[in-house]
Amino acid sequence: MEREGEAVEIKEFKSLSREFIDVIGGLFVSDETVVRKTLSAALANGHVLFEDMPGLGKTLLAKSFAKASGCRWSRVQFTPDIMPADILGTRIWVPRSGEFVLEQGPLFTNILLADEINRAPPKTQSALLEAMEERQVTIEGTTLTLTRPFFVIATQNPIEHEGTFPLPEAQMDRFLMRMRTGYVKDLESEMEILNRRVRWRSEDPVADLRPVVSQERFVEMQALVEEKIFVHPVLISYMCQLVRATREHFAVEAGSSPRGSLALMKLSRAHAAIMGRDFVTPDDVKLFAREALSHRIILKMEYEVEGEITPAQVVEEVLKGVEVPKDFGR
Ligand SMILES: Nc1ncnc2c1ncn2[C@@H]1O[C@H](COP(=O)(O)OP(=O)(O)OP(=O)(O)O)[C@@H](O)[C@H]1O
Ligand SMILES: [Mg+2]
């Protein structure tokens, strides 16, 4: 039901989203909400950080997602010796024409898969995170704007692992959400991973994946999220109360910035559209509270050291403490 030249409408948005979820679910075995949340972040044009133990399918999910979106994408494997210029690009001297030419790095794409981001040295991380925030890059005096869509899907293993440079909190804030892919739930799903592998003919199943939409369509879907999804003032208040409550929690040194409430709003709107609704509900907001807020919360030293409470638990407590609005329709 592609209707070229017309804006995407909500019904079509829902069915395209369904297709997205099914296509990715055909490769990545998981609870559907993991894929739905990733899709929400992408439709909100936001950066996602997948943080989990090795081998849990982070790279697989990121790659299949990029492929399904029909957008241009590139992948960078971060290592301790990677330099900012390896990501952003650099000026190179071309002897034949006798001039410098700007050679664009892998950042100049629609979706950048930044694998093992915590293996890059701080200088490279901060160059990438600047570009993520500003959606433009300055290379030796020339400023270039990145195309739309532009977002980063980064992966990392939890910080206890050796040979890594943990991302500073200030840079974490640039991710719209941080989430875990998690272990598969039951034996049946565990077996499903192997059974699918038996059927694959190539080593890289993503190579055969067929895009669900084109880049233009994807951008139109992003536009619908921003233009057509209603957020009732009581929900705006709800999101802001949640964020403020993280700042007032006894165990918290620094609570979520307003980027946290903005993230909640963007993600909830995208999720409403995925579900075929033109208005946000409190459940949309609650669904993302943990992934949108916990990486923005810094615990007080004593609680951090004792490890008795985690930022995710702070978010759970905050959710219990703030009254959920009842009247939120159009
Ligand atoms: N949930 C899953 N569904 C399907 N395949 C999976 C799943 N989890 C892991 N795999 C398979 O296991 C292998 C490892 O997955 P992948 O490389 O995506 O993990 P990763 O989380 O990126 O690991 P690392 O942190 O080491 O980079 C792949 O062959 C992938 O297909
Ligand atoms: Mg990986």
Q: Is 158 in the pocket of ligand 1 (CB under 6 A)?
A: no
> Quick one: pLDDT at residue 154?
93
Instruction: Taking residues 40-48, report their average pLDDT.
Output: 95
DSSP line for 249-282? -TTEEE---HHHHHHHHHHHHHHHHHTT-SB--H
| Position 55 confidence tier, pLDDT thresholds 50, 70, 90 | confident
**Assigned token pair, 34:** 């993991």
Residues 6+ apart with CB under 8 A from 137: 88, 89, 107, 108, 131, 143, 144, 146
Tell me, in angstroms, the distance from the centre of ligand 2 to residue 148's CA.
Answer: 25
**Residue 92, pLDDT above cutoff 90:** no
User: Does residue 202 have its Cβ closer than 6 Å to ligand 1?
Assistant: no
Domains plus CATH for the chain? Answer: 1-223 (3.40.50.300), 229-330 (1.10.8.80)
Query: Is the CB of residue 60 below 6 angstroms from any atom belonging to ligand 1?
Result: yes
What is the rounded CA–CA span in Å between residue 152 and residue 78? Answer: 13
Is there an atom of ligand 1 within 6 Å of 80 CB? no
The Å distance, Cα 181 to ligand 2 centre, comes to 11
Angle at 84 between CA 80 and CA 90, to 5 degrees: 135
- At residue 4, does pLDDT exceed 80? no
Which of 59 and 242 is assigned the larger pLDDT? Answer: 242
Is residue 203 scored above 80 in pLDDT? no
Share of the chain above pLDDT 70, in %: 95
More confident residue, 130 or 243: 243
pLDDT at 2: 46
- The stretch 307-316 carries a mean pLDDT of 92
Note the ligand closest to the C-alpha atom of 202. 1
200 pLDDT band, cuts 50/70/90, is low
Residue nearest to atom 1 of ligand 1 (CA): 29
Q: Which ligand is nearest to the Cα of residue 55, counting in written order?
A: 1
Give the Å distance between the CA of 72 and the centre of ligand 1.
Answer: 22
